[in-house]
Every structure is written in C-alpha cells, then in structure tokens.
Amino acid sequence: THFGFASVRLDEKQGLVDDVFHKVARRYDLMNDLMSAGLHRAWKDALVSSLRPPRDRPFGHLDVAGGTGDIAFRVLEAGGPRTQVTVFDINGDMLAVGRERAGARFGRRIDFVQGNAEALPFPDKSFDAYTIAFGIRNVPRIEEALAEAHRVLKRGGRFLCLEFSHVDVPGLDAVYDAYSFNVIPALGRMVTGDAEPYRYLVESIRRFPTAEGFADMVRAAGFGRVTYRPMTGGVVALHSGWKI
C-alpha cells in the first residue's frame, strides 16, 4: 500500500505528516542515525558552524520544526550564556522527546513551543536567527513558512535551512535511488514496524524543489544575499539568507 502523498490536498497533507511524526517520535533519533549512517550529525554541525552564534552578547534563536532538539542543543553549546533558543514544532510528541533529552542542562535558555510554521505565534522582528532542518519539506505551504521566517526575524537576522536536495553526481545518483527506495523503507519497517512513514520520507524528498529552485523561493520571501551549499554530493543542501 501507499499513502499516495502525490495526490493529497494541501489541507490533508499536514494531518498525514502529523501522523508520521506521532508514530516515529520515540524512535526518531535512532532512525536518523541508522538511515543517514550518522551523517545527519555532520550536516547539523555544518549548519551551526555556518551560523556561529555569538558568545558575548544576547542571541535569540528560533528553531522551527525543531523536533527532538538536535539543532537547538548545538546552538546552545556553540553560543554564549545569553543565547536563548526556542524549539518550535507542530508535533507535541516530538517536542516531548526534545524536552526529555534537554533535561535541566540548559535551564531557562531553552523553551519549547507547539505550533505551525505557517503561522508563527511571535511578534515581528523577535529573533536574531531562524533555522529549519529537515522540516520545510513537510510544511504544506512553503511560501507561507518562508514569509513567516522573514517576518519574525530582526533586521540583520539570519535564515538557515537544511534540507534534502537532489544528487547530481553520476554514479552516486543510482546508489542513492537504490538506497532510498529499498533500504530506507526496509530499515523503517525493522525499527518501527512500519515502512509507510519512510515511503513518505522518500517521496517528499523527490518532490522538493532543486537547490536553485528553493533559493529562488527564499529570495521571493524577501531575503537578501541568498546562497546555498550542497553537501554529500547534493544529498542535502544548506540555504542561507539575510533579512536586510
């Protein structure tokens, strides 16, 4: 069977996405390590190195689709005592895992807020940086999420997005296809008992725009100096923009 995500309407998509992350929340971190062979750690480290949160002044950071906290923890570790991170996600199960993982180690420098990336519950110009890692492709109306990112950033604020992209290295593309369509759903079934969420994962990656196409969307939302960097042969791309 098949979710048939290709044909779902926008207002149905979010419900299906929520079911996926409700099902996998408890196994999410393990699956990330297994499926990316640990690479997701290096990709997330690259995002935070590119961000370089300041250690000597206040820094308000919003991590959207923050899930179980991977980006937030890295930003807090790299930043200073006045770095403050809000983990924002639509899914309470993912946030609950994040809260448990954070424990008490960051005190009041971290908080968790549930809501939709398309309608952020924050005033204009609230944050110094906005990140979204492996999240934007799950959002039904990407343009709205990007407009919201731009709205809540202060002038001079940084936008960074890490997302799966499109492999264009001859040879690697065939390996990546075989891996995506066979290994990923099989691994998903082994660990979570269900291959469907992982078929969705693969399908949503295929349907996401190319790195150049996504850069155009980031520009269209009003960001300046938009650049991107493919990593691991284009398996993922890191997009950067500034609210000027």
DSSP state letter for 235: T
Rounded to an integer, what distance in angstroms lies between the CA atom of residue 137 and that of residue 201?
9
> Hey, what are 119's tokens?
């309608």
Residue 73 or 176: the one with the smaller Cβ distance to ligand SAM is 73
Figure out which of the listed residues 48, 51, 62, 90 binds ligand SAM, where binding follows CB under 6 A: 90
Provide the phi-psi class of 80: left if phi over 0, else alpha when psi is between -120 and 50, else beta: beta
Residue nearest to ligand SAM as judged by C-beta position: 67
Query: Is residue 133 part of the contact set for ligand SAM (CB under 6 A)?
Result: yes
Q: Minimum distance between the CB of residue 23 and ligand SAM, rounded to whole angstroms?
A: 11
Which DSSP category does 134 fall into? S
Which of 53, 60, 67, 197 is the binder for ligand SAM (CB under 6 A)? Answer: 67
Q: Residues 175-214 vs ligand SAM: string with x where CB under 6 A?
A: ----------------------------------------
Q: Which contiguous run of DSSP H or E holds residue 100?
A: helix 92-102
Q: Is 32 labelled as part of a ligand binding site?
A: no
The residue with tokens 């309470």 is: 92
Which structure tokens are listed for 146? 């990007």
Q: Tell me which residues touch ligand SAM (CB under 6 A).
A: 14, 17, 21, 64-67, 70-71, 89-91, 94, 116-118, 133-135, 138-139
